């Protein structure tokens, strides 16, 4: 039976091969493939003038409908099936240089012309770029080999076979241990685990090691470090003043989310639209700070609407670039030059983001106010009571207001200012007889106004009139002097519908002067607190006010405008926000998956669309990013651009297989995806390379060896902290300030914000907790290609410069680490300097120093020792003026420790 | 082949050659540091297609030696640039743009035609006009108008070309400064110095190619982003040289480490790294070895260059330096030294020119005059000193702010300011350029009779950038870097070389 099948199979194969041969020889070739053969020619030769930006003579090759459609001449330039009558072919083959295309550029080669001719002959079939087509199931290559450890290896080995190459042997256990621990946790593994593994580096123990590293809290810190670049996270607001922003709870949310392996789709939904989830938790609100990391401009005289718009556009661009590997920013000004996205589609997508409550306010509203301990308890008591008084919806509204002071009218949206101004363009300020307008305020069913204000002078009255400066008086509010900002409520007569509100301020005390009488922060129109009939009302109302006015920490979050505060969105002509074109409603680009059924047409719906398994970009982008973190280069090298201008995938089948597996089998578990990769034989390969292999696979595209990449700025700091024993492993909390030289922060208007080295061991926290000021980032990290985080950074470009050497050689932080590393070498290494040096090397690399390297280090030690013996002052300085260590031997060992921290082997992951 | 592959290809070729040298001769150190072959740049004038842009970028960025000196694509007249930025924006109406008609309007209400549809940072309601707060004279053979606020500079007015109809669309400091230096009012694009450093590398491998010096006690409003490298590799960002602490961050050996030991430790690092290379054959290791060599050399050369003490007394007198202080005069003298040493782009920011008239330090008749005194002598000395050394022809000196100031007196929030000051103004301001192939005694552009708006020869930041690049030998339209799916240029989609001031 078996043999019959085999024979049958052989026949089938024969027939197949035969028909391919016949096809190949009879028709000359197989059909032209649009994506791999035609599109590259169009992109490099035609599309600059005939594409999304310019459509010379009405001809564009961006979409098929355009390419075969009528041009300005009235005729199509491409007639499918008929190359000889196609104007395109006539023009690319013309003799007259004035006629011949590409105009004033080199002609197409014969091969290129033939390809286009055949393509038209075959019907000018269009193809979608692979990255815009949903991930399809991929069959595993039918390969078996003892090298193969899991399915990833089959794909890799298939490519190697095709290229007549062999994989490298597995790296030695100590190298693997270091690689694995840097990759998964961003720092060296603790000695206990390393000893355990190195004493019995079996396959089983390798897997245990992987599991324990994935379970380590340090795992979340490492992957958060990566995510912070995408989120353009910083502890300041950016632009001129670049003042402090308290948003570290978002960083902590990330660490927890990674550590608990929150499924990646949920991870993204929370960050994009957690605020819109039913009964959103505080944590889900905090997640949305992802898009509150946009910059806020506090410079006096700036147009808040302009910078709100800039933030919204940044959210669009960041969403596409970091989550969907697409450079959407091009489409801001015109249709995409190469990829199938139109100008209008950009603004339809922007409309998803255009209705968030934030408006470039100084306070970064909306903020989630954080009630802890007794306040949290108070809130519970109040909510429990409230639930008995009214509807669930009203409870939610009141609770939301307590937690966010929203929805409120921010005073900077006032207009028609007379004898009033936006003080420092931030708060509405009135002088005597000043007036200002708020347009279209919904007063339906609202009988209370709560406002936040600051009145610097005695007396004065605020009048609110409807619809015109001398319209009907809605309310007159006597104002008393306040010490600083206060929140106050007044009752309002019930009014129907929306009205323009005219506020005026009268204060004879300051009549005729230039003095400001009162300034406002926000106005909240609402129904007054229910439950008046309850015997507890007075006590609960007091509780409400103590919660509302409590001085709480707060984090900027996303929040959607209520239905009566919606903004209309428009196309910006040529990207200019002041030139508004057609009005648009939220929508996703046509060339990608449609919105999932039942997804609402808002930011939450967009998040569901983005994380739909049909979305072709989301899973691929994350798989690519994870791969890049481990191997130094993505499966598609351009993490930020999977489009037609991006690089070609090194292994398309593997890429799609991993993306499919990530979504389906792994249910978006990043830890499982990582485990797949690190368990593969591919990952475990040695990174040594022979001269021959360097010639055959110079960029390691085929994965003929293990990764060898310089560590990130964060890893370099963290590992040195670990070796020195200084590291403070405390997790979470406000960002810390490790040592940096004086004079890095010299921002104008910084006020009292200063770099103040953190107290005690807090200055030795992991790099991910370092306070990040956008206009003056931590210098040692920026030198090692850290990102300034003004905008998102999809991929750090690694450089190799002398300034980096200067950091690890001379930065006082590194010196301090070197000293403590040396002390540890002495403590753990024994009496002889050789043993101490060897111990240092063992601590750093989990392996025994080679005799050659030991000789070099010992010579350095001896030379240093001779020098220090002659110079007591330098000795004392070298050991950091510590009496206990003040001897030439220790000083010499500090020099050696500093040298070890600078070795290529340490700066690099092998 | 992708961009990265192209870089890598070069890296590999070079590494192979060097590896060969290493294996055969074993005299590695002798030839490693400086011997990284500086591959001359091919012509960058090419087609406008993206393919061409890729090729350019590939030719430009060499990860193994990103700062190797490169030849510009066109014969440039200037080899280096000293850019004097008066942060805060000095008033053109008290320096170079003489408007006697404005004097006649002094104290009168500003006509509505100048206010309707306009936005100002601080002016509200109807401000009063403010006549020139300085006396003007015509100077030199060119007859350029320069106010008495600049008695020294008045004597060298013939050396420069004035650009008198500068305009911008940003009336806040930070965005306007970013526009001036990076071609966009937003953060995230490379600064001019980064572009130049990327395009030309550095002649002196012991010094950074792009140096930034600040005075006046504060960084410019836009912070360090103004000399950031944006999407270019970070190696091209400006290196801020400081007058206190280390002149370049981390350049000094730690306390207790003498030069001998430092040398020995770098030798040890490199020796072990060489052993590492023999094992792994990764070309990056060779690159790291040479970077450590270079770091050592920078440690020697930078403090020496940054120290102006060795200049003769008459030079100190000429510039009016104040040894030991972070002052503009010291920075200007340092800039001259750096140009002599082959630094390509030196950017000086001087803080304190925001003459609103809200207090005496920002009053046109007090603080502003002090700022003029602090800078007049040294910027004049710079031109004379460069000239006497024969360096002015190849050094482009640029002076300016980020925008201009209103012919109206500022009335912050509709109130009269206590001192005489002017608000930010986008429609007219003056800059000047000198040396580096710029016309002597030239002037381009004019404003209306009260200096409110440009009436002829209107120019923008993009034109300044295009002109600077032109003088260095770049066509600003073809000098691009591929990023986010398209080629980017410093001048975005605008800019014309101001040929009227080119000699």
Q: Which of B108, B217, B212, B95 is nearest to B163 (CA)?
A: B95
> Which residues in chain B have their CB less than 8 angstroms from residue A45's CB?
49
Interface test mutation site (partner A, options B10, B223, B245, B412, max chain A beta carbons within 10 A):
B223
Provide the number of CB pairs (under 8 Å) joining chain A to chain B.
289
CA of B410 to nearest chain A CA: how many angstroms apart?
13
Q: What is the pLDDT of residue B52?
A: 35
Q: A379 — contact with chain B (CB < 8 Å)? A: no
CA of A42 to nearest chain B CA: how many angstroms apart?
11
Within 10 A of B69 (CB to CB), how many other CB atoms are there? 17
Query: Do the Cβ atoms of B291 and A810 come within 8 Å?
Result: no
Digit-coded pLDDT (tens) for A432-466: 999 999 999 999 999 999 999 999 999 999 999 99
Contact present, B425 and B404 (Cβ < 8 Å): yes
Query: Do the Cβ atoms of B415 and A878 come within 8 Å?
Result: no
Collapsing DSSP states into helix, strand and coil, what is residue A901?
A: helix
Q: B35 — contact with chain A (CB < 8 Å)? A: no
**Which DSSP helix (H) or strand (E) runs through B160?**
strand B160-166
CA of A494 to nearest chain B CA: how many angstroms apart?
35
Q: Residue B198 contacts by C-beta under 8 Å, 6 or more apart in sequence?
A: B60, B61, B190, B232, B233, B236, B481
Q: Residue B281 contacts by C-beta under 8 Å, 6 or more apart in sequence?
A: A688, A689, A690, A691, A694, B19
CA of B463 to nearest chain A CA: how many angstroms apart?
21
Query: Do the Cβ atoms of B187 and A238 come within 8 Å?
Result: yes
Inter-axis angle of helices A173-185 and A670-679, nearest 10: 160
Q: What is the pLDDT of residue B310?
A: 86
**Which DSSP helix (H) or strand (E) runs through A409?**
strand A409-410
Q: Which of A237, A212, A232, A357 is nearest to A297 (CA)?
A: A237
Chain A, nearest residue to B50 by Cα: A44
Interface test mutation site (partner B, options A237, A519, A751, A801, max chain B beta carbons within 10 A):
A801
Q: A477 — contact with chain B (CB < 8 Å)? A: no
Q: A887 — contact with chain B (CB < 8 Å)? A: no
Q: B496 — contact with chain A (CB < 8 Å)? A: no
Chain B, nearest residue to A856 by Cα: B268
Contact present, A434 and A505 (Cβ < 8 Å): yes
> Which residues in chain B have their CB less than 8 angstroms from residue A875's CB?
256
Q: Where are the alpha helices (DSSP H) in A168-281?
A: 173-185, 191-199, 203-215, 217-230, 248-259, 264-273
Phi-psi region of A610 (alpha: psi -120 to 50; beta: other; left: phi over 0): alpha
Q: What is the pLDDT of residue B43?
A: 26
> Which residues in chain A have their CB less than 8 angstroms from residue B266's CB?
809
Digit-coded pLDDT (tens) for B109-129: 999 999 988 888 888 888 999
Q: What is the pLDDT of residue B417?
A: 83
Strand pairing partners for A428?
A: A422, A520
Q: What is the pLDDT of residue B209?
A: 86
What distance in Å separates the CA atoms of residue A193 and residue A199, rounded to the nearest whole number? 10
Residue for token digits 């206010």? B115
What distance in Å separates the CA atoms of residue B425 and residue B429, rounded to the nearest whole number? 8
Q: What is the pLDDT of residue A518?
A: 96
Parts of chain A with a pLDDT under 70: 1-29, 748, 750
What distance in Å separates the CA atoms of residue A363 and residue A373, rounded to the nearest whole number? 24
Rg (CA), chain B: 24
Q: Where are the alpha helices (DSSP H) in A391-488?
A: 392-404
Q: What is the pLDDT of residue B106?
A: 94
Q: Which of B302, B288, B300, B250 is nearest to A808 (CA)?
A: B250
Query: Do the Cβ atoms of B424 and A301 come within 8 Å?
Result: yes
Within 10 A of A20 (CB to CB), how many other CB atoms are there? 11
Parts of chain B with a pLDDT under 70: 1-65, 234, 243-244, 413, 484-485
Digit-coded pLDDT (tens) for B404-430: 999 999 987 677 888 999 999 999 999
Query: Do the Cβ atoms of A802 and B19 come within 8 Å?
Result: no
Phi-psi region of B442 (alpha: psi -120 to 50; beta: other; left: phi over 0): beta
What distance in Å separates the CA atoms of residue A769 and residue A183, rounded to the nearest whole number? 19
Strands (E), A411-561: 415-423, 427-442, 448-455, 461-466, 473-478, 486-491, 498-506, 516-526, 554-556
What distance in Å separates the CA atoms of residue A638 and residue A795, rounded to the nearest whole number? 8
Q: B285 — contact with chain A (CB < 8 Å)? A: yes
Contact present, A668 and A683 (Cβ < 8 Å): no
What distance in Å separates the CA atoms of residue B199 and residue B236, rounded to the nearest whole number? 10
Interface test mutation site (partner B, options A56, A106, A239, A639, max chain B beta carbons within 10 A):
A239
Question: In Å, how far from its chain's centre is CA A280?
Answer: 22
Which residues of chain B from 193 to 222 reach within 8 Å of chain A, CB to CB?
208, 214, 217-222
Distances (CA, A) of A319 to A176, A343, A346, A793: 35, 17, 12, 12
Q: What is the pLDDT of residue A238?
A: 87
Q: Residue B332 corresponds to which tokens in the numbers above?
A: 């200007």
- Give the predicted TM-score (pTM) of the model: 0.83
**Which DSSP helix (H) or strand (E) runs through A659?**
helix A652-663
Under DSSP, the state recorded for A96 is S
Contact present, B91 and B131 (Cβ < 8 Å): no
Strand pairing partners for A268?
A: none
What distance in Å separates the CA atoms of residue B50 and residue A644, rounded to the nearest whole number? 12
Q: Residue A372 contacts by C-beta under 8 Å, 6 or more apart in sequence?
A: A552
Q: What is the pLDDT of residue B86?
A: 97
- Across the interface, of A646, A800, A895, the residue whose CB is closest to B261 is A895
Residue for token digits 């607190």? A529
Average pLDDT, chain A: 91
Under DSSP, the state recorded for A614 is T
What distance in Å separates the CA atoms of residue A849 and residue B375, rounded to the nearest whole number? 59
Q: A710 — contact with chain B (CB < 8 Å)? A: yes
Chain B, nearest residue to A818 by Cα: B254
> Which residues in chain A have their CB less than 8 angstroms from residue B2's CB?
637-638, 647-648
What distance in Å separates the CA atoms of residue A250 and residue A257, rounded to the nearest whole number? 10
ipTM over 0.90: no
What distance in Å separates the CA atoms of residue A809 and residue B42, rounded to the nearest whole number? 37
Residues in chain B: 503
Query: Do the Cβ atoms of A646 and B47 come within 8 Å?
Result: no
Q: Residue A838 contacts by C-beta under 8 Å, 6 or more apart in sequence?
A: A829, A848, A849, A854
């Amino acid at each position: 039976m078996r043999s019959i099948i085999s024979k049958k199979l052989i026949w089938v194969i024969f027939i197949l091969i035969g028909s391919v041969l016949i096809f190949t020889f009879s028709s000359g070739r197989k059909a032209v493939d649009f994506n791999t053969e035609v599109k590259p020619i169009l992109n490099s030769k035609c599309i600059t003038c005939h594409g999304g930006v310019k459509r010379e003579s009405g001809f564009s090759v961006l979409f098929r409908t355009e390419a075969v459609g009528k041009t300005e001449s009235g005729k199509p330039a491409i007639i499918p099936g008929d190359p000889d009558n196609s104007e395109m072919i006539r023009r690319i083959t013309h003799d007259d240089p004035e006629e011949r295309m590409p105009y004033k550029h080199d002609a197409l080669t014969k091969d290129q012309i033939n390809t286009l001719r055949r393509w038209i002959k075959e019907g000018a079939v269009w193809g979608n770029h692979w990255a815009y087509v949903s991930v399809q199931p991929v069959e595993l290559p039918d390969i078996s080999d003892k090298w193969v450890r899991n399915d990833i290896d089959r794909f890799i080995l298939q490519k190697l076979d095709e290229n007549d190459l062999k994989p490298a042997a597995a790296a030695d256990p100590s190298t693997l241990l270091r690689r694995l621990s840097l990759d998964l946790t961003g720092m060296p593994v603790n000695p206990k685990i390393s000893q355990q593994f190195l004493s019995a580096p079996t396959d089983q123990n390798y897997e245990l090691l992987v599991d324990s590293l994935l379970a380590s809290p340090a795992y979340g810190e490492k992957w958060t470090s990566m995510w912070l670049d995408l989120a353009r996270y910083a502890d300041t607001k950016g632009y001129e003043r670049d003042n402090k922003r308290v948003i570290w709870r978002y960083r902590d949310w990330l660490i927890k989310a990674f550590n608990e392996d929150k499924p990646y789709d949920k991870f993204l939904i929370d960050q994009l639209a957690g605020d819109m989830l039913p009964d959103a938790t505080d944590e889900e609100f905090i997640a949305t700070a992802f898009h509150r990391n946009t910059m806020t401009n506090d410079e006096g005289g700036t147009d808040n609407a302009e910078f709100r718009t800039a933030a919204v556009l940044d959210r669009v661009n960041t969403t596409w670039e970091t989550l969907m590997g697409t450079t959407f920013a091009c489409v801001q000004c015109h249709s995409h030059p190469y990829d199938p996205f139109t100008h209008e589609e950009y603004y339809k997508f922007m409309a998803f983001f255009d209705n968030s409550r934030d408006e470039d306010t100084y306070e970064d509203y909306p903020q989630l106010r954080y009630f802890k301990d007794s306040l949290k308890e108070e809130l519970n008591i109040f909510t429990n009571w409230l639930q008995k008084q009214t509807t669930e919806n009203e409870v939610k509204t009141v609770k939301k207001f307590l937690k966010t002071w929203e929805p409120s009218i921010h005073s900077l949206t006032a207009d028609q200012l007379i004898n009033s101004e936006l003080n420092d363009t931030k708060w509405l300020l009135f002088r005597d007889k000043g007036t200002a307008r708020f347009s279209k305020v919904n007063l339906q069913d609202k009988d209370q106004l709560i406002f936040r204000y600051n009145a610097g002078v005695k007396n004065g009255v605020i009048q609110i009139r409807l619809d015109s400066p001398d319209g009907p008086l809605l309310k007159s509010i006597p104002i008393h002097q306040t010490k600083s900002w206060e929140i106050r409520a007044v009752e309002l007569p019930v009014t129907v519908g929306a009205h323009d509100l005219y506020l005026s301020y009268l204060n004879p005390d300051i009549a005729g002067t230039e003095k400001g009488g009162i300034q406002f922060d926000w106005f909240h129109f609402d129904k007054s607190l229910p439950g008046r009939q309850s015997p507890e009302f007075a006590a609960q109302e007091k509780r409400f006010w103590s919660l509302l006015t409590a001085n709480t920490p707060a984090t900027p979050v996303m929040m959607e405008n209520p239905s009566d505060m919606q903004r209309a969105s428009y196309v910006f002509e040529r990207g200019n926000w002041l030139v508004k074109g057609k009005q648009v409603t939220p929508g996703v680009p046509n060339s990608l998956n449609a919105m999932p059924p039942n997804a609402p047409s808002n930011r939450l719906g967009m998040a569901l669309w983005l994380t739909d398994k049909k979305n072709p970009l989301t899973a691929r982008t994350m798989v690519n990013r994870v791969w890049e973190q481990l191997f130094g280069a993505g499966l598609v090298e351009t993490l930020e651009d999977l489009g037609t201008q991006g690089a070609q995938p090194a292994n398309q089948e593997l890429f799609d297989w991993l993306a499919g597996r990530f979504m389906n089998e792994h249910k978006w578990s990043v830890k499982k995806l990582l485990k797949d990769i690190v368990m593969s034989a591919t990952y475990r390969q040695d990174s040594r390379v022979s001269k021959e292999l360097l010639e055959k696979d110079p960029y390691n595209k085929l994965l003929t060896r293990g990764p060898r990449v310089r560590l990130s700025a964060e890893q370099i700091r963290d590992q040195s902290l670990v070796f020195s024993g200084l590291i403070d492993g405390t997790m979470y909390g406000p960002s810390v300030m490790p040592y940096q030289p004086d004079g890095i922060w010299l921002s104008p208007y910084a006020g009292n914000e200063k770099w103040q080295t953190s107290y005690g061991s807090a200055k030795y926290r992991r790099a991910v907790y370092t306070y990040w000021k956008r206009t003056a980032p931590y210098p040692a990290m920026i030198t090692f290609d850290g990102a300034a985080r003004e905008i998102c950074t999809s991929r750090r470009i690694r450089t190799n410069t002398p300034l980096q050497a200067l950091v690890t050689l001379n930065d006082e932080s590194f010196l301090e680490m070197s000293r403590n590393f040396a002390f540890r070498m002495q403590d753990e290494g024994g009496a002889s300097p050789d043993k101490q040096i060897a111990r240092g090397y063992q601590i750093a690399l989990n392996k025994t120093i080679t005799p050659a390297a030991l000789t070099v280090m010992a010579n350095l030690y001896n030379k240093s020792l001779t020098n220090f013996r002659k110079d007591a002052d330098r000795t004392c300085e070298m050991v950091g003026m510590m009496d206990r260590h003040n001897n030439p031997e220790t000083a010499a060992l500090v020099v050696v420790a500093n040298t070890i921290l600078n070795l290529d082997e340490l700066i690099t992951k092998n | 082949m992708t961009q990265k592959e192209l870089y890598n290809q070069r890296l590999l070729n070079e590494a192979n050659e060097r590896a060969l040298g290493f294996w055969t001769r074993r005299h590695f150190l002798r030839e490693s540091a400086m011997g990284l072959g500086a591959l001359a740049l091919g012509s960058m004038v090419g087609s406008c297609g993206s393919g061409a842009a890729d090729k350019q970028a590939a030719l430009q960025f060499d990860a193994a030696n990103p700062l190797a000196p490169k030849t510009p694509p066109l014969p440039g007249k200037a080899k280096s640039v000293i850019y004097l930025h008066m942060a805060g924006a000095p008033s053109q109406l008290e320096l170079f743009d003489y408007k006697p008609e404005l004097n006649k309007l002094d104290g009168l209400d500003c006509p509505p035609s100048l206010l309707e549809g306009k936005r100002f940072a601080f002016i509200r309601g109807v401000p009063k006009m403010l006549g020139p707060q300085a006396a003007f004279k015509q100077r030199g053979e060119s007859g350029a108008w320069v106010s008495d606020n600049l008695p020294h500079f008045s004597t060298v007015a013939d050396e420069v070309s004035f650009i008198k109809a500068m305009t911008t669309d940003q009336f806040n400091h930070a965005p306007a400064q970013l526009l001036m230096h990076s071609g966009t009012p937003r953060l995230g694009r490379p600064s001019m110095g980064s572009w130049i450093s990327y395009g030309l590398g550095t002649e002196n491998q012991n010094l950074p190619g792009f140096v930034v010096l600040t005075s006046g006690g504060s960084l410019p409003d836009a912070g360090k982003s103004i000399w950031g490298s944006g999407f270019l590799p970070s190696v091209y960002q400006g290196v801020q040289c400081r007058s206190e602490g280390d002149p370049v961050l981390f350049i000094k050996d730690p306390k207790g480490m003498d030069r001998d030991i430092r040398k020995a430790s770098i030798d040890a690092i490199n020796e072990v790294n060489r052993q590492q290379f023999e094992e792994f054959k990764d070309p990056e290791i060779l690159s790291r070895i040479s970077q450590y060599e270079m770091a050592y050399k920078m440690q020697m050369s930078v403090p020496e260059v940054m120290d102006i003490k060795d200049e003769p007394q008459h030079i100190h007198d000429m510039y009016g330096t104040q040894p030991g202080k972070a002052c503009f005069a010291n920075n200007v003298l340092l800039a001259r030294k750096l140009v002599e040493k082959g630094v390509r782009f030196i950017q000086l920011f001087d803080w304190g020119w925001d003459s609103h008239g809200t207090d005496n330090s920002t009053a046109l008749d007090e603080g502003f005059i002090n700022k003029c005194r602090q800078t007049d002598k040294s910027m004049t000395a710079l031109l004379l000193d460069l000239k006497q050394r024969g360096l002015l022809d190849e050094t482009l000196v640029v002076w300016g702010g980020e925008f201009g100031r209103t012919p109206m007196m500022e009335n912050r929030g509709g109130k009269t300011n206590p001192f005489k000051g002017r608000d930010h103004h986008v429609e007219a301001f003056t800059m000047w350029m000198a040396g580096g192939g710029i016309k002597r005694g030239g002037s381009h552009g004019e404003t209306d009779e009260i200096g409110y708006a440009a009436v002829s020869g209107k120019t923008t930041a993009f034109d300044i950038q295009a002109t600077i690049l032109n003088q260095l030998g770049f066509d600003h339209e073809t000098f691009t870097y591929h990023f986010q799916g398209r080629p980017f240029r410093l001048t975005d989609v605008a800019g014309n070389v101001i040929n009227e001031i080119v000699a």
